[in-house]
Structure 1
């Protein structure tokens, strides 16, 4: 009997039993993701792309934009304020590390060693983070006032008056102290969660072996939160490199440009001098530096997962 070479006809039941295509399997998830992608592209990547383009133009809303090539970059490199702002930003980043970076680590370790009222101490340490910024700036301007409570306490202790906001030597340090008080609580909770995830058996075994508090912290606690320390260190570098709001609200870059940061200078170029091309060029340079820091953070995050 001859065999037919035609392909066998499959029933509808066989097609129904076939597994769905990968794209169709996740199409509903992609549809839910689409609005976020559109918003992300419209309000983040599109402005970044326009900023790169505008950095090569002289922006004039009356006469129209004109292409100037690298003239905006040449202008900002010749501006002495750019060098001052870059140095102030690096100084601000250094102070943030020396003064503010270690505070949440120390508080997290201290709270983890507390046996009683630990919940109350956690809440009390986190409360400054929820203080509205308007209240925060008003509060610290009063505290830093020449006749404020801090100077009153210093005079009672026999020290001379400190001009926290009008002395170039103290202005940036004063800002870092204020921001540390306001924001250390959020980082502290991250460190505290990492410490609490350490098996308690390790601490009990160390106590049985006669290890004191400092040895437990050195050999158990700090190695356990090493990855969090590295990642939050990189995040703080990124955040402090964009320092703008406090410097603008408290001192507007003063006294004598001692708190003029790079981001604040971009704001001055754009909205005070209305030189949007040069402001865009400054923004592109910042974007490149922050992009390198973001890549470093991504690599460190991957190492942590591995």
Structure 2
């Protein structure tokens, strides 16, 4: 009896699970139908390219003669190319500059704007306006700003009496100049997210702190920053991922120069794929970047989870 009862119970539980799954699918069929286009788009333009990137990283891609399996040769090329080491150093430098120069700017502006009693809407719009400037106009505008006879150098020579700075041709200033440009253009969108988080903090907390004699810095340290630390951690991870893939301004403004000073890892991937026509090595570099970013995302998620617990 006991030997035959167990399979029957398993069959009943399996049938119950199937019935429950069918009921859930039937109940939410319209929701799944609306999700289907987004799922297809993500599969076609995100997950399929990732899978094909892994595939092509083991092949010498030739669109005329056909693909040739080369095993780990593409990865060996990556590790032996001196430009890869240079691009990694430049990318880390670029990420560090973006954190030091640009990451705290939207937080400061969000806190300052939240304290305004008048004209807060106008200031929000003014802070966000650089974000809507087309990149073609942006690059042309900042090329003029950074020109040897442009307004920045004119101000330097007029006020300080110096010779000016070669922003675009000096290897010490080229990457810094790009980070300043991108900070000015992109901080508005992040500022709105921080501002929404700051405004959502209950005002009773600030009023109670003011009654207890807490000053501006005390309120910022013990109320504002702890309340938005989850958003700060998320934005930090997004900025690390975004800057690790940065290549657009480096390519459009300086094409990786001067003397490879702005040659980032992502820009080198693009150069391998387009200029050197080596899709296999470019795919291998993309796979390595994907793995590193995945590990960093997992570490950040676990640290954030521990901090919340």
Give the alignment's TM-score, normalised by structure 1: 0.90
Which of these residues, 154, 157, 160, is aligned with residue 155 of structure 1?
157
**What is residue 253 of structure 1 aligned with on the other side?**
256
Equivalent position SS for 2:172 = helix
Counterpart check, 1:200 vs 2:199: no
Quick one: distance in 1 between partners of 2:37 and 2:302?
Answer: 28
Which of these residues, 39, 43, 46, is aligned with residue 44 of structure 1?
46
**What is residue 216 of structure 1 aligned with on the other side?**
219
Q: Kindly state the Cα deviation for residue 190 of structure 1 after the two structures are TM-superposed.
A: 1.0
Equivalent pair of 1:105/1:191 in contact (CA under 8 Å) = yes
Matches within 5 A, 1:152-191: 152-158=154-160, 159-191=162-194
Query: Bigger CA drift: 158-167 or 261-270?
Result: 158-167
Structure 2: runs of 5 or more not aligned: 1-18
Which of these residues, 96, 105, 113, is aligned with residue 94 of structure 1?
96
Structure 1: runs of 5 or more not aligned: 1-17
Q: Kindly state the Cα deviation for residue 298 of structure 1 after the two structures are TM-superposed.
A: 4.4
Which of these residues, 100, 104, 117, is aligned with residue 106 of structure 2?
104
Counterpart check, 1:23 vs 2:36: no
Equivalent pair of 1:104/1:187 in contact (CA under 8 Å) = yes
Q: Kindly state the Cα deviation for residue 300 of structure 1 after the two structures are TM-superposed.
A: 5.8
Counterpart check, 1:288 vs 2:291: yes
Equivalent pair of 2:233/2:304 in contact (CA under 8 Å) = no
Query: Bigger CA drift: 192-201 or 79-88?
Result: 192-201
Per-residue displacement from partner, 1:199-254 (whole Å, max 9, x unpaired)?
11222222222222222212221112111111111110010000011111111101
| Stretches (4+) displaced over 4 A | 297-306
Equivalent position SS for 1:168 = coil
Cα RMSD over matched residues? 1.9
Q: Kindly state the Cα deviation for residue 97 of structure 1 after the two structures are TM-superposed.
A: 0.3
**What is residue 35 of structure 2 aligned with on the other side?**
33
Q: Kindly state the Cα deviation for residue 48 of structure 1 after the two structures are TM-superposed.
A: 1.1
**What is residue 8 of structure 1 aligned with on the other side?**
none
**What is residue 3 of structure 2 aligned with on the other side?**
none
Q: State the structure with more CA Rg.
A: 1
**What is residue 144 of structure 2 aligned with on the other side?**
142
**What is residue 65 of structure 2 aligned with on the other side?**
63
Matches within 5 A, 1:263-278: 263-278=266-281
